Amino acid sequence: MLSHLLTLAITATSALVAAQSADIRDSVGPLTTIASKTAVRTCDITDYGAVADGQTDISDALNSAFADCKAGGVVVIPDGDFALATWVTMNGGTAWALQLDGTIYRTGTGGGNMLFIEHGYDFELFSSTGKGAMQGYGYEFHLNGSLTGPRLLRFAKMTSFAVHDIVLVDSPSFHFSMDTCDSGEVYNMVIRGGNSGGLDGIDVWSTNMWIHDIEVTNKDECVTVKSPAKNIIVEQIYCNWSGGCAMGSLGGNVNVSAITYQNIYTWTSNQMYMIKSNGGSGTVSDVVLENFIGHGNAYSLDIDQYWSSMSTVPGSGVQLNNIQVTNWTGTETDGSRRGPIKIICAYDAPCTGVDLSDIKMWTESGDIQKYVCSSAYTNSSSAYCLSSGSGEDGEQHAGFDAATVTVTAAPSGYEATTMPGDLATHSWGTTAEIPIPTIPSSFFPGTGPIKALAG
């Protein structure tokens, strides 16, 4: 019954993002099929000297295979255990792909990026079996308190690409970053990192990106948008004992617009969604956060423009405008301490057009929950703790101190389903090897992946 009601809710609210979403979904991803690329050439790294013994460095073989297939073709890392001791940068390339069916194990100790793919066009990184993985053994760094090791995967200035059906495990640092890319699609992935800050799942600051059907376990960002960014859709995300999804940290000259998160499931995480900054300048506009389910999270909706975990940036604050939040259900751990709505905006740059509707959440402990708002204005009749004021006809919005609303009864309809894969504990911490998981069959309650899983 809950899944049926959820499906109806998703259908009813899809109009909020239909115009934005359809345009992005139809225009992102690689331009050439894998079959067409395979017909041009296949470059199997074992033909270039790679050995699947888990010890022999494959960097030379991978570089040679890339050189032969970068102008069209498929570089293949077949089934097997492969060691990477020297990081590989793949610069350029058109109409090519990297097929990762084996497992790459980190054996080197340098910083930077284990795989750095940049300045390419019409590219695809994928596993044909859904079993391809990168194992970073980050715990070997974290045992000594270090988070300065390499990222597993970084893209920069890539255009018309896709990454899908692979698993990223235990990065020494961030798992996957996309820097100044365009027209990309990322989907059907699991990212599993240590239980520590500084181990982000996916960070993206790019244009025209579609990220969907991702599971992340860590203790920092799940899927996060940074500045600059425009026209990004993030949907069917499973933050399974994670830091939760977020935007930021936002600093100076911020330029973020047309961002949609929908169908987000968050279990035992820092927050369901956070927008974070401290000082700074620039704008965030036209953000949609819809169809969120949460259980056992510290924060739910957390907009904090005085975020104490970052140093204050010069400026009067990042201007947030037109933030639409709708259809949130589930529970938070302690609603009296950290209620489901916390919107603390910059006093000298108040938030405008923060419109909340159907926020149906309740506390797991105690019998009250609190909404807290500061310097935040709404156009909606559902004010919660917000102040009314559209800003039309030259009206100037003034900052105001925190206003608190205390709720003493659970809202009707807050109950929400759970997922069978919800972790009972983050048992790996940062001191032991994290096993490589399999990709789940669902990333959001009652739905399957938008695109079929490989294999």
pLDDT tens across 277-304, in order? Answer: 999 999 999 999 999 999 999 999 999 9
pLDDT tens across 101-137, in order? Answer: 999 999 999 999 999 999 999 999 999 999 999 999 9
Q: Which two tokens stand for residue 225?
A: 């948008």
CB-neighbour burial class of residue 8 (10 A; exposed 0-12, middle 13-18, buried 19+) = exposed
Q: What is the pLDDT of residue 14?
A: 44
Q: Give 33's contacts (C-beta < 8 A, 6+ positions apart).
A: none
Q: What is the pLDDT of residue 401?
A: 87
Paired residues of 351 in beta bridges: 376
pLDDT tens across 426-446, in order? Answer: 888 889 999 999 999 999 999
pLDDT tens across 6-49, in order? Answer: 443 343 344 444 434 447 898 999 999 999 999 999 999 999 99
Length of the chain: 455
Contact 316, 281 (CB under 8 A): yes
Contact 245, 218 (CB under 8 A): no
pLDDT tens across 381-398, in order? Answer: 878 999 987 544 445 688
Going by pLDDT thresholds of 50, 70 and 90, the confidence category of residue 168 is very high
Going by the DSSP 8-state scheme, the letter that residue 252 receives in this structure is S
Q: Give 279's contacts (C-beta < 8 A, 6+ positions apart).
A: 251, 312, 313, 314, 315, 316, 317, 346
Quick check: 376 pLDDT over 70? yes
Give the type of residue at 379.
Answer: N
Q: What is the pLDDT of residue 10?
A: 40
Instruction: Give the up-direction half-sphere exposure of residue 155: CA atoms within 13 A in the CB hemisphere.
Output: 28
Contact 370, 395 (CB under 8 A): no
Candidates 238, 308, 300, 250; CA nearest to 275 is: 250
Contact 138, 199 (CB under 8 A): yes
Domains and CATH numbers, the chain: 1-19+239-420+432-446 (2.160.20.10)
Catalytic residues: 220, 295
pLDDT tens across 310-350, in order? Answer: 999 999 999 999 999 999 999 999 999 999 999 999 999 99
Helix (H) or strand (E) holding 181: strand 176-192
Q: CA 454, CA 447: separation in Å to the nearest integer?
A: 17
Q: Which two tokens stand for residue 24?
A: 């992005």
Cis peptide before 380 (omega within 30 of 0): no
Q: What is the mean pLDDT of residues 214-232?
A: 97
Quick check: 252 pLDDT over 50? yes
Q: What is the pLDDT of residue 436?
A: 97
Write down the pTM of the prediction.
0.94
pLDDT tens across 35-94, in order? Answer: 999 999 999 999 999 999 999 999 999 999 999 999 999 999 999 999 999 999 999 999
Strands 319-332 and 352-363 come out as parallel
pLDDT tens across 397-427, in order? Answer: 888 888 999 999 999 999 999 999 999 988 8
Q: How far is CA 169 from CA 66, 190, 310, 390, in A?
A: 24, 8, 27, 46
Q: What is the pLDDT of residue 1?
A: 33
Q: What is the pLDDT of residue 3?
A: 38
Q: CA 20, CA 278: separation in Å to the nearest integer?
A: 29
Quick check: 5 pLDDT over 50? no
Give DSSP secondary structure letters for 310-379: SPPBSSS-PEEEEEEEEEEEEEES-TTTS-SEEEE-BTTB-BEEEEEEEEEEEESSSS-EEEEEESBEES
Quick check: 182 pLDDT over 70? yes
How many CB atoms within 10 Å of residue 401? 7
